[in-house]
A and B are shown apart, each in its own frame.
Chain A
Amino acid sequence: MKWLACVLCTLIVTVAQAQAVYPAKPIRLVVPFPPAGATDILSRDLMQGLSARLGRQVIIDNRPGAAGAIGSEIVAKAAPDGYTLLMATTSTHSVEPTITPNLPYDAVKDFAPVCLVATSPNVLVVPVTLPVNSVKDLIALAKAKPGTLNYGSAGTGGIVHLTSEMFRFRTGIDIVHVPYKGTQLVVPDLISGQISMLFDNIVSAQPNLKTGKLKAIGITGLKRSPLMPDVPTIAESGVPGFEASTWFGVYAPRGTPPAIIDKLNRELVAVLQSADMRARLANLGADPVGTTPEGMAKTVAAETAKWAKVIHDANVKVE
């Protein structure tokens, strides 16, 4: 019995020490999307700042697949010790739970929110040949010729598809969905005019906007983007309250000690406040947020409810 007590004592002391000096070893951040994508670049920028503040390396582990479900599942089932974290997005925690049956994780019960780090709006672009110069013009044109305009998306059930469906439902226009395997693949058909509108990423839309092949007519966020201050928001162009941004947030597995979550939250918020990080996020077309863990839980719940309503209203089904 004596030796057992000894072992237990040593264990308790080690655990206590480990917690006192968290992080005692490198931390793994699972990014459930492939390298070089928007989520990956944002994660890498942010984790560089976090590594510097924690004094321990945060390693990015890309686990792409199944719209983020594979990486999310890994974190949902990881040990809740603060050494495995997840960079979640609207897709993994606000859309997938509603749209995909048999998801291998529970977006609410399996995770403990840490910090909602950023949001990123999209921009509504149309070909330069389309005779519209504002969202109002576009709605008028769609109402004058119902069923003739096409919109492109990055796949059924994706955020671009749902944003377009929300736009269709809110404005009561009749437009046809043409899915692609990524927004960059829509662009050639958008330029040639076969596709009439696309909710595109603000950064990747820039080259074609600068050469005048496409026109930007509205931002999906509630604020204008610093990258293109002349483009009004859709909310201020006649669709009040229209808001569709992608959020990015860090989760830990459910059961992670609150002390660790608080520490991570403090450091992430500090990283987000640095001028350097703000400039980097602006280059990615993203706005820094930096909520408390409770704030993140509330925002994500509201987002999930919003997208669930769009999915229900527009009757989007994925089998």
Chain B
Amino acid sequence: MIGQSLNDLWYGFGIALQPHNLMWSFFGVLVGNLIGVLPGMGALTAISMLLPLTYTMHPVPAILMLAGIFYGSQYGGAIGAILLNMPSHPPHAVTCLDGYPMTKAGKGGTALGITMIASFFAASFGIMVMIFASPLLVQIAFKFGPTEIFSIMLLGLLAGATMARGSPLKGVAITVVGLLIGIVGTDVNSGVQRFTYGIPELSDKVELVALALGMFGVADFLRSVNRTQFVGSETKVRLRDMRPSKAELKQAFFPMVRGTLIGTLFGAMPGTGPTITTFIAYAFERRVSKTPERFGHGALEGVAAPEAASHSKTQVDFIPTMSLGIPGDAVMALILGALLIQGIQPGPQLITEHADLFWGLIASFWVGNILLVILNVPLIGLWVKLLQVPFRYMYPAALFFIAVGVYSTNNSLFEIYEVLLFGVAGAILLALDFPVAPILLGYVLGPLVEENFRRALLLSRGDLTVFVTRPISAAFIGLCTLLILAQIFFAVRATMRKRREGLDAAAPPLSNVPGIE
């Protein structure tokens, strides 16, 4: 089987290295790298903006490019965090903690060098996992019918809703909003128009691109007006500075390995965001360290581990998305949407049915990561300069591109109104501390859950027990139950503990304890 995988990988390299595909892959990582450096312009914004471009492209270069943006932006994010103490995206916020102190100590080049090595190592590991785990999935490919897909999607939805940052109640609420937005349009089963209010444009669902760009692009811009300050930096990074010493390499090696493993684990679990992954990698590193007091003052381990985790997660994230159709986070949900638009149903069949796409993508990961390492050296200086472009030029330009991108999805102005509406709604939600990513999860997964549920019942002639009598489906339903039980358990334990602490602290005036009066 390993031989077969290597053979397929060889075939994949043949596809990834075709000039046309290589060009789009290069374009993707370049845009991603740029976007990664810019604050507020995440991979999500960039992918939504370029999504319409892919409608007329062949699926292979389209997905290669979108994936390139995704992992390209990870490299870019680290640059802003280390050199300017500016977390362009949340996952890299933790890199600031030790990366920026290193820059202040004149070791910024080393931090970037280590980041690059850790990233490449972690990405390669993630790719290997993808190569060898995927053929296993092919074996069970056609055992996945509507019944099984429903159970998996349900798990993805639950995981996404309950594991979001912050208040679980808000996470669930916002997922439900996503589900409701997903319902808009023509029902597949009956042909009935739902929530369209007689507007013909809505009969084809709310536009994915408009939703994503509104919630993540426009909303973010509106929120950061007059808030973002650009810190100039005189840092000059030369290639010589980026080469870490032997001792530094040794110091960073095990944190890198541990970070990679944490990222791989979280990547395989859908619904865990990239931010939580890097924070856990950092916290774990600090706990196992013999000198935890160095953390926060320029500890090399504090840069290597989270960056490695972020990269291996990015690669491994593609496994559940491509082979099960469950997106791990919002970016993956968007890539899933791009596949569906191309008429490609993600699922275990994808690997055999679209072998060129799957293996081409895997090979392009490697090609892209090598391109990024090479690109980063000359471009770092340029990116740092770009960060000094004032807000009043950069953000209106970005808004203009958003409008163009959304218009071109259906050549109609209706989508521009949609993006405006979602932008304003998104800004309000952000102001109220709601996580907006679960909206996209609900929007993409909701209709799939419903469709497959009804399809499974049509096939079983209305017999609900199919979901537990078919073994694969039963296993996933079991996991769903466990997830809900665990959530209840943690919630109950937290309240109990709070109450007990409350009792201990406020023992004399008993009337202060909530619930007693």
A-B interaction: yes
Contact with B along A219-247 (1 / 0, CB 8 A): 00000000000000000000000000000
Q: How far is the CA of A65 from the CA of B410 in the complex (A)?
A: 8
CB pair B455 A180 closer than 8 Å = yes
Docked complex: A286-319 residues within 8 A CB-CB of B: 317-319
Q: How far is the CA of A64 from the CA of B412 in the complex (A)?
A: 10
Docked complex: A108-130 residues within 8 A CB-CB of B: none
Given A35-B55, A318-B192, are A69 and B200 neighbors across the interface (CB < 8 Å)? Answer: yes
Q: How far is the CA of A67 from the CA of B201 in the complex (A)?
A: 10
Count, chain B residues at interface, CB 8 A: 32
Residues of A within 8 A of B146 (CB): 189, 194
Taking the closest CB of chain B, its distance from the CB of A85, in whole angstroms, is 16
B511 within 8 A of A: no
A82 within 8 A of B: no
A160 within 8 A of B: no
A184 within 8 A of B: yes
Residues of A within 8 A of B473 (CB): none
Contact with B along A56-80 (1 / 0, CB 8 A): 0000011111110110010000000
A15 within 8 A of B: no
Q: How far is the CA of A35 from the CA of B341 in the complex (A)?
A: 11
Given A65-B204, A192-B142, are A157 and B191 neighbors across the interface (CB < 8 Å)? Answer: yes
Given A176-B458, A179-B189, are A66 and B198 neighbors across the interface (CB < 8 Å)? Answer: no
Q: How far is the CA of A66 from the CA of B338 in the complex (A)?
A: 20
Q: How far is the CA of A64 from the CA of B415 in the complex (A)?
A: 13
CB pair A178 B458 closer than 8 Å = yes
Given A35-B55, A36-B55, are A156 and B145 neighbors across the interface (CB < 8 Å)? Answer: no
**Segment at the A interface, from B104-112, B159-167, B257-265, B342-350:** B342-350
Residues of A within 8 A of B349 (CB): 188, 191
Contact with A along B177-212 (1 / 0, CB 8 A): 000000000101111110000101101100000000
Docked complex: A267-297 residues within 8 A CB-CB of B: none
CB pair B191 A156 closer than 8 Å = yes
> Quick one: closest B residue to A176, CB to CB?
B458
B226 within 8 A of A: no
CB pair B459 A66 closer than 8 Å = no
State which of B145, B190, B200 has its C-beta within 8 Å of the C-beta of A194: B145
Q: How far is the CA of A189 from the CA of B459 in the complex (A)?
A: 11
Q: How far is the CA of A69 from the CA of B461 in the complex (A)?
A: 34
State which of A66, A99, A102, A319 has its C-beta within 8 Å of the C-beta of B192: A319
State which of A63, A104, A179, A182 has its C-beta within 8 Å of the C-beta of B410: A63
CB pair B188 A104 closer than 8 Å = no
A258 within 8 A of B: no
Q: How far is the CA of A188 from the CA of B412 in the complex (A)?
A: 34
CB pair A66 B201 closer than 8 Å = yes
CB pair A66 B203 closer than 8 Å = yes
Residues of B within 8 A of A194 (CB): 145-146, 459
CB pair A156 B190 closer than 8 Å = yes
CB pair A184 B345 closer than 8 Å = yes
- Residue of B55, B144, B198, B411 with most partner-chain A CB within 10 A: B411
> Quick one: closest A residue to B347, CB to CB?
A188
B8 within 8 A of A: no
Q: How far is the CA of A256 from the CA of B214 in the complex (A)?
A: 41
Q: How far is the CA of A67 from the CA of B203 in the complex (A)?
A: 9
CB pair B55 A34 closer than 8 Å = yes
**Chain A interface bracket (under 10, 10 to 19, 20 to 34, 35 or more):** 35 or more
- Residue of B191, B410, B411 with most partner-chain A CB within 10 A: B191
B451 within 8 A of A: yes
Given A155-B188, A156-B190, A318-B190, are A181 and B458 neighbors across the interface (CB < 8 Å)? Answer: no
CB pair B343 A184 closer than 8 Å = yes
Taking the closest CB of chain B, its distance from the CB of A42, in whole angstroms, is 16
Residues of B within 8 A of A66 (CB): 200-201, 203-204
> Quick one: closest A residue to B147, CB to CB?
A194
B291 within 8 A of A: no
B469 within 8 A of A: no
State which of B191, B192, B200, B343 has its C-beta within 8 Å of the C-beta of A104: B200
Taking the closest CB of chain A, its distance from the CB of B278, in whole angstroms, is 36
Contact with A along B125-140 (1 / 0, CB 8 A): 0000000000000000
State which of B144, B189, B190 has its C-beta within 8 Å of the C-beta of A319: B190
Residues of B within 8 A of A181 (CB): 188, 451
Contact with B along A160-196 (1 / 0, CB 8 A): 0000000000000000111111101100110110100
CB pair B188 A102 closer than 8 Å = no
> Quick one: closest A residue to B458, CB to CB?
A178
Q: How far is the CA of A157 from the CA of B203 in the complex (A)?
A: 14
> Quick one: closest B residue to A161, CB to CB?
B191
Q: How far is the CA of A150 from the CA of B455 in the complex (A)?
A: 11
Given A188-B347, A189-B145, are A63 and B55 neighbors across the interface (CB < 8 Å)? Answer: no
Taking the closest CB of chain A, its distance from the CB of B208, in whole angstroms, is 13
Residues of A within 8 A of B465 (CB): none
Taking the closest CB of chain A, its distance from the CB of B188, in whole angstroms, is 5
CB pair A319 B198 closer than 8 Å = no
Given A150-B459, A178-B458, A188-B142, are A70 and B345 neighbors across the interface (CB < 8 Å)? Answer: no
Q: How far is the CA of A220 from the CA of B9 in the complex (A)?
A: 41
> Quick one: closest B residue to A65, CB to CB?
B204
B4 within 8 A of A: no
B495 within 8 A of A: no
Q: How far is the CA of A182 from the CA of B345 in the complex (A)?
A: 10
Residues of A within 8 A of B7 (CB): none
Residues of A within 8 A of B145 (CB): 189, 192, 194
Contact with A along B141-170 (1 / 0, CB 8 A): 011111000000000000000000000000
Taking the closest CB of chain B, its distance from the CB of A206, in whole angstroms, is 13
Taking the closest CB of chain A, its distance from the CB of B338, in whole angstroms, is 13
Taking the closest CB of chain B, its distance from the CB of A165, in whole angstroms, is 13
CB pair A63 B190 closer than 8 Å = no
Residues of B within 8 A of A34 (CB): 55
Q: How far is the CA of A317 from the CA of B353 in the complex (A)?
A: 35
Taking the closest CB of chain A, its distance from the CB of B147, in whole angstroms, is 9
> Quick one: closest A residue to B198, CB to CB?
A102
> Quick one: closest B residue to A99, CB to CB?
B191
Residues of A within 8 A of B191 (CB): 99, 155-157, 317-319
Q: How far is the CA of A180 from the CA of B343 in the complex (A)?
A: 12
Q: How far is the CA of A176 from the CA of B109 in the complex (A)?
A: 66
Taking the closest CB of chain A, its distance from the CB of B393, in whole angstroms, is 33
Residues of A within 8 A of B347 (CB): 188
Q: How far is the CA of A116 from the CA of B143 in the complex (A)?
A: 44
State which of A179, A185, A318 has its C-beta within 8 Å of the C-beta of B345: A185
Docked complex: B443-494 residues within 8 A CB-CB of A: 451, 455, 458-459, 461
CB pair A65 B200 closer than 8 Å = yes
CB pair B188 A62 closer than 8 Å = no
CB pair B411 A61 closer than 8 Å = yes
Taking the closest CB of chain A, its distance from the CB of B191, in whole angstroms, is 4
Listed A/B pairs (14) with beta-carbon separation below 8 Å: A65-B201, A70-B200, A73-B200, A156-B188, A156-B190, A178-B458, A179-B455, A184-B345, A188-B144, A189-B146, A191-B142, A194-B145, A194-B459, A319-B190
Known pairs A179-B189, A180-B455; list 17 more (Cβ under 8 Å): A36-B55, A62-B411, A65-B204, A66-B204, A69-B203, A150-B458, A150-B459, A155-B188, A156-B188, A157-B191, A178-B455, A179-B455, A184-B343, A188-B144, A191-B349, A194-B459, A319-B191
Q: Which residues of B contact A (CB under 8 A)?
A: 55-56, 142-146, 186, 188-193, 198, 200-201, 203-204, 343, 345, 347, 349, 353, 410-412, 451, 455, 458-459, 461
| Closest 4 pairs (CB-CB, A-B) | A318-B191, A156-B191, A66-B200, A192-B142
